[in-house]
Chains A and B, each alone.
Chain A
Amino acid sequence: MTELTLTQKFTLIALNAQRSLEMTNAKKVSLRCMAAAVILEVYLDSGFAQDNNKLVLKKDVLNQSHTIRYRETIIQPLNHTIGDLSGWLKQASLLSKRKLIKFEHVISESLKEMSLLEEIPHILGCDLYFHSSGVEIKGYRSHIQEYTTITEHIRAEILEDGTVTDETICMLWLLRESGCMHDFFSRNELEQLSTRMYQLYQANPLAKALYRIRIHRGIELAIKQFLRMKKVAVKTPVGSGLNFLFPILERSQSVFIDTEAMFSNSRTRLHDVRMRLESKGHAVKVLGDGTIPTIKIDNIIYEAIPHATYGRVPIHGVRLLPIHPS
Chain B
Amino acid sequence: MSRQRTMETILASEFVSIGELVRLTESRYSTLKFYTEEGMLPFEQAEENLTRKYIRLATVARIHLIKELKSNGLTIPQIKEALDKDE
Query: A and B: real partners?
Result: yes
Q: Mark B38-71, 1 if CB is under 8 A from A, else 0.
A: 0000000000111110000000000000000000
Nearest-CB residue, chain A, relative to B11:
A1
Whether A229 sits at the interface, judged by CB under 8 Å, is no
Residues of chain A in range 86-120 having any CB-CB distance to chain B below 8 Å = none
Q: Are A155 and B29 in contact (CB under 8 A)?
A: yes
Residue-wise interface mask of B (12-32) relative to A, using a CB-CB cutoff of 8 A (1 in contact, 0 not): 000001110111001111101
Contact status A165-B3, CB under 8 Å: yes
In the complex, A168 has a CB within 8 A of chain B: yes
Q: Name the residue on B nearest A155 (C-beta).
A: B29
Q: Mark A204-225, 1 if CB is under 8 A from B, else 0.
A: 0010000000000000000000
In contact, B2 and A166 (Cβ under 8 angstroms): yes
> Which residues of A are found within 8 Å of B51, using beta-carbon distances?
160-163
- A151 and B21 CA atoms in complex are apart in Å by 13
User: With contacts A160-B51, A160-B52 known, is A165 near B4, CB below 8 A?
Assistant: yes
- A165 vs B9: C-alpha distance when bound (angstroms): 15
- Specify the main secondary structure of chain A where it touches its partner: helix
How far, in whole Å, are A102 and B25 apart by their CA atoms in the complex?
A: 36
Q: Does B74 contact A (CB under 8 A)?
A: no
A289 neighbours in B (Cβ, 8 Å): none
| Contact status B22-A152, CB under 8 Å | yes
Residues in A whose Cβ lies below 8 Å from that of B23: 149, 153
Query: Is there contact, CB below 8 Å, between A206 and B1?
Result: yes
A167 contacts the other chain (Cβ, under 8 Å)?
Answer: yes
Check if B29 sits within 8 Å of A152, measured CB to CB. Answer: yes
Of A149, A156, A162, A164, which contacts B49 at CB under 8 A? A162
A148-B26, A157-B19 are known contacts. Are A163 and B2 too (CB-CB below 8 A)?
A: yes
Contact with B along A1-28 (1 / 0, CB 8 A): 1010000000000000000000000000
Instruction: Find out whether the CB atom of A166 lies under 8 angstroms from the CB atom of B17.
Output: no
B6 at the binding interface (Cβ < 8 Å): yes
Q: Is the CB of B2 within 8 A of A165?
A: yes
- Of the four ranges (under 10, 10 to 19, 20 to 34, 35 or more), the interface on chain B belongs to 20 to 34
Interface residues of A, count at CB 8 A: 22
Say if the beta carbon of A145 comes within 8 Å of chain B: yes
Within 8 A of B (CB), among A107-165: 145, 148-149, 152-153, 155-157, 159-165
Name the residue of chain A whose CB is nearest to the CB of B28: A152
A59 to B2 alpha-carbon distance, docked (Å): 25
A1 to B51 alpha-carbon distance, docked (Å) = 25
- In angstroms, Cα B33 to Cα A206, docked, is 28
How far, in angstroms, from A149 to B22 measured CA to CA in the complex? 7
CB distance from A4 to the nearest CB of B (A): 10
Smallest Cβ-Cβ distance to B29: which chain A residue: A156
Whether B76 is near chain A, meaning CB under 8 Å from some CB there, is no
Which of A44, A156, A161 counts the most chain B CB atoms within 10 A? Answer: A156
| Pair B29/A159 contact, Cβ less than 8 Å | yes
User: What is B's interface to A at a CB cutoff of 8 Å?
Assistant: 1-4, 6-7, 17-19, 21-23, 26-30, 32-33, 48-52
Nearest 7 CB-CB pairings of A with B: A162-B51, A156-B19, A156-B29, A165-B4, A157-B19, A167-B4, A155-B29
Q: Can you list 25 residue pairs at the A/B interface with Cβ under 8 Å?
A: A1-B7, A44-B3, A149-B23, A152-B22, A152-B27, A155-B30, A156-B18, A156-B22, A156-B29, A159-B29, A160-B18, A160-B19, A161-B49, A161-B51, A162-B17, A162-B49, A162-B50, A163-B51, A165-B2, A165-B4, A166-B1, A166-B2, A166-B4, A168-B4, A206-B1
Contacts A156-B32, A164-B2, A165-B2 known; list 19 others, CB within 8 Å. Answer: A3-B7, A148-B26, A149-B22, A149-B23, A149-B26, A152-B22, A152-B28, A152-B29, A153-B22, A155-B29, A156-B21, A160-B17, A160-B33, A161-B50, A162-B17, A162-B49, A163-B51, A165-B4, A166-B4
